Structure 1
Amino acid sequence: MISSVATVGSAAPIGRADVPAPASLEPLALLADAGLEVPVLGGGRMRHVNLDVAASAPALQSVAEHVQRVLPYYASVHRGTGYPSQQTTALVEGARATVARHVGARDDDLVVFTRNTTDALNLFASAVPGDTVVLDIEHHANLLPWRDGGRRVVVGRSSFATTLDALDAELGRCRAALLSVTGASNVTGEVLPIADLADLAHSHGARLAVDGAQLLPHRRVDIAALGVDYLAFSGHKAYAPYGAGALVGRADWLDAAPPHLAGGGAVESVGIDDVSWKTGPDRHEAGTPNVIGIVALARALAEFERLGDEARAAHEHALTQRLHAGLVAQAGVRVIRGFDDVDDRLGIATIELDRGSIGLLAAALGAEHGISVRAGRFCAHPLFDRLATRSNGLRASLGAGTSVDDIDRFLTALAALIADGPAYAYDRAPGGWCPRVDDRPPPAFDHG
């Protein structure tokens, strides 16, 4: 049982004997934080295990190196006459082409750079000429932007087949302009059948938007082939944590929408009493863009292509099986599922405990074992509240840099903590559980 003061006993890895290790992607060589050691309570250090990739992924090594090569040429874009400015402009527009190619954009689709998925969907919400239908499984980024307009929320059923029927009925009833869905749940990891959703939306004369924040870093998303009209995603979840994201999709709604920001670069001309706005990406990209973030995002997508879709999928599939097998075998743990007929899932698993504190468990995994996970409701409160029996859950999420040892260390530590509790005393503060005496030294950062 998880208690605030206990002694950790030994526990062997469980439930993984029949789950093969994946073919190697040399995962620990991929990341800029490869080999990072973190302090743990009691004065030791351990190699960090990052199983919080669904929240923010570390930079790929190739992305970090590319940023360092680009930085000396950083300058203003589009209107500068100097050599660095010309090169910076070429980098941004080249990144736009890379993003379009990677997601299978149509020739007349726009690629608008944003801060992240939330920013992209808030921008897009002002462009939709009518009601929007969403599911209750959505991340808040794809639930809250539609609140002030005509939003219709369909509550998910136990199966996705019956959920599709409910979406079909709602789309027929309200004649919505848009169906907006997540590509993969950030709580359960379940991957939705995007092509089926596109066909459904189009059969009712609506368009389909996909929140690709979780899906795109793990799977290739070809919007033209799938019938997706709009796709939003974030660099910080795609191993390019430099503050850029993108909205890709059909131009007509975006060209007719109010500019996302009012400022320089978005205008053709400005008078005292009137303004003429541009169309295309410039309309929504006022001000100086995040050049480094844009370049990093494009470089990450190019690296995905170099690694290969099949190799990445095989690597993550094997690790996902290993993770879920270990969790299912663990006493006192329930893995949360959204749909009983969806077997395709990303490397995400959210669990509940029969008893004890999830927050304390997550804190002890970090402080005593050097393992990062996430506790809470994961910015998907309606879904979590419908599926869960407790107030919060613990999510483990893996990615391209995850190794077999990472999964096994997590499962071993989880079993030990559930059986015997933490080895140190913890206090519950407003911000969550924390060690009563924290002897872990902070890094020697220069904070200026």
Structure 2
Amino acid sequence: MLSAAELARVRADFPLLEREVHGKPLVYLDWGATSQKPEIVIDAEQDYYLTRNAAVHRGAHTLAGEATELFEGARAEVARFVGAAPGELVWTSGATAGLNLLAYAMQNATLGSGGEAARPFALGPGDEIVVTELEHHANLVPWQQLAARTGASLRWIPATDSGRLDLSVLPEVVRERTRVVAVTHASNVTGAVTDLAPIVARAHEVGALVVLDACQSVPHLALDLPGLGVDFAVFSGHKMLAPHGVGALYGRRELLEALPPVQTGGSMVEVVTMTETTFLPPPQKFEAGTQPVAEAIGFGAAAQYLGDLGMAGVAAHEHELTERLLAGIVQLPHVRVLGPTEAVDRVGVVSFEVDGVHPHDVGQVLDAEGIAVRVGHHCAQPIHRRLGVASSARASLGIASNTDDVDAFLAALPTVRPFFGLGE
């Protein structure tokens, strides 16, 4: 748990939180979309450009060596943060890129790339890919497309009325021909944290790979990805205090070694002749071309910052704020929370609808009070449809959120309906 003094020091690390919006102090409740950045991350990225800017893994001069050391040091830092080895962490441009990398690599395996070692990744008619009704489009559309390209079938685990997964159907949905199970760790709409153990056990029982979308869990919970038993996982830097344009794909080492590459070119090759090429081992095998060096260094600084705070304390702090937010919002008339209304197995992502008011209008009224929330379908149309709405407004908490933020939101939300003449 963060003490009041610790939280004050944390908030002081985020310069953007000092600004005003429409003459009001900024209340930033959109951490689920993108996190604000502490100065240590901004400084790390700036320092690279000011003092060490060079191409990594190329050249023998001092700057190239220093840049490479920082780049690979950041990989080790981020890998350590999620319990992985550096060789199990591939840099990507974000979680979406990581999921597409996996889907296209499996298509390449289907076409024969990677030889015998890659055959376990090949798909065909009769094979099945399983997703869930809670997925962000980034963990749904690539698998839809892979199924269409390979002839595999797409199945899914449904959501309950409370916005959690209905695991009672697991034996019927994950079957003998299931090859991939792609699942969110924490929903970006309902905030529900998935009970992974039975999913991982069932998937591995039938020989399927488990792909985890950890975007909404890595920044908020203490995680050990290998310990969870998943085979692959993705997460994005910009959601965990790091710059935009960088993310990570975790994969068990033996799987990354067998998985064929998707992008080819410089930096990922071992020997190239005019007729054939051999590839470097992972993670470099999946990192063709120019890498997001400064962004990766910032990512490493963000992981170190959160690690120094202690993720157990971060999780406890955000859990307390989530309890406060939920306890207040469920008391408001004409407001419905989409998802669990108690802070149990839940992160601080709270989507809601206000009766009679479009979510975009809700967002604009709150913005006039300096309160930043997300509006729309949050790149997750199926779960919105399942819960009977087309879109929603969403307040999401982060490490620098405090009780004043929550109380300001709870005080402003009841003004939305009267603003449109709808009563309280």
Give the TM-score normalised by the residue count of structure 1: 0.82
CA distance in 2, matches of 1:395, 1:138: 16
How far 1:253 moved relative to its partner? Answer: 3.5
Question: Residues 162 and 90 from structure 1, CA distance in 2 versus in 1: closer, same or farther, beyond 3 angstroms?
Answer: closer
Provide the secondary structure at the position in 2 that maps to 1:33: helix
Deviations 1:121-156 (A, max 9, x none): 100113441442111110001001111323322322
**Is 1:202–2:199 an aligned residue pair?**
no
**Letter aligned with residue 304 of structure 1:** L
Q: How does 1:429-448 map to 2 (within 5 A)?
A: none
CA distance in 1, matches of 2:138, 2:371: 27
Tell me the matched-pair count: 393
How far 1:22 moved relative to its partner? Answer: 7.5
CA distance in 2, matches of 1:61, 1:194: 35
Question: Residues 405 and 302 from structure 1, CA distance in 2 versus in 1: closer, same or farther, beyond 3 angstroms?
Answer: same
Provide the secondary structure at the position in 1 that maps to 2:17: coil
How far 1:195 moved relative to its partner? Answer: 2.9
Q: RMSD of the alignment, in Å?
A: 2.3
CA distance in 2, matches of 1:70, 1:34: 24
Q: How does 1:161-200 map to 2 (within 5 A)?
A: 163-172=166-175, 174-200=176-202
CA distance in 2, matches of 1:80, 1:158: 57
Question: Residues 331 and 378 from structure 1, CA distance in 2 versus in 1: closer, same or farther, beyond 3 angstroms?
Answer: same
Q: How does 1:189-338 map to 2 (within 5 A)?
A: 189-337=191-339
How far 1:340 moved relative to its partner? Answer: 8.8
CA distance in 1, matches of 2:376, 2:165: 28
Q: How does 1:336-347 map to 2 (within 5 A)?
A: 336-337=338-339, 343-347=344-348
**Is 1:93–2:72 an aligned residue pair?**
yes
**Letter aligned with residue 398 of structure 1:** L
Cα contact 1:117–1:233 (8 A) shared by 2: yes
Q: Which residue of 2 aligns with 1:18?
A: none
Provide the secondary structure at the position in 1 that maps to 2:406: helix
CA distance in 2, matches of 1:340, 1:114: 35
**Letter aligned with residue 404 of structure 2:** D
Deviations 1:369-425 (A, max 9, x none): 11111111110111111013x332110111011121111111111112223349xxx
How far 1:115 moved relative to its partner? Answer: 0.4
Provide the secondary structure at the position in 2 that maps to 1:156: coil
Q: Which residue of 1 aligns with 2:355?
A: 354
Q: Which residue of 2 aligns with 1:83?
A: 62
**What are the ranges of 5 or more consecutive residues in structure 1 without an aligned counterpart?**
1-20, 423-448
Q: Percent identity?
A: 38
Q: Which residue of 1 aligns with 2:24?
A: 46
Question: Residues 195 and 74 from structure 1, CA distance in 2 versus in 1: closer, same or farther, beyond 3 angstroms?
Answer: farther
Greater CA drift, 159-168 or 114-123: 159-168
CA distance in 2, matches of 1:395, 1:298: 28
Provide the secondary structure at the position in 2 that maps to 1:180: strand
**What are the ranges of 5 or more consecutive residues in structure 2 without an aligned counterpart?**
107-120
CA distance in 2, matches of 1:162, 1:288: 40
Cα contact 1:127–1:256 (8 A) shared by 2: no
Question: Residues 241 and 133 from structure 1, CA distance in 2 versus in 1: closer, same or farther, beyond 3 angstroms?
Answer: same
**Is 1:37–2:16 an aligned residue pair?**
no
CA distance in 2, matches of 1:157, 1:332: 22
Greater CA drift, 69-78 or 229-238: 69-78
CA distance in 2, matches of 1:314, 1:177: 36
Which of 65, 68, 91 is residue 43 of structure 2 equivalent to?
Answer: 65
Cα contact 2:222–2:312 (8 A) shared by 1: no
How far 1:229 moved relative to its partner? Answer: 1.6
Q: Which residue of 2 aligns with 1:25?
A: 7
Cα contact 1:242–1:296 (8 A) shared by 2: no
Q: Which residue of 2 aligns with 1:369?
A: 369
Q: Which residue of 2 aligns with 1:426?
A: none
Question: Residues 46 and 255 from structure 1, CA distance in 2 versus in 1: closer, same or farther, beyond 3 angstroms?
Answer: same
CA distance in 1, matches of 2:171, 2:77: 35
Cα contact 1:33–1:58 (8 A) shared by 2: yes
**Is 1:416–2:415 an aligned residue pair?**
yes
**Letter aligned with residue 86 of structure 1:** G
How far 1:159 moved relative to its partner? Answer: 7.0
Deviations 1:29-62 (A, max 9, x none): 1324131222x2xxxx122111111111111222
CA distance in 2, matches of 1:392, 1:417: 17
| Displaced runs of 4 or more, over 4 A | 21-24, 158-162, 339-342
Cα contact 1:254–1:280 (8 A) shared by 2: yes
Q: How does 1:62-141 map to 2 (within 5 A)?
A: 62-71=40-49, 72-105=51-84, 110-128=88-106, 129=121, 130=123, 131-141=128-138
**Letter aligned with residue 156 of structure 2:** V
How far 1:312 moved relative to its partner? Answer: 0.9
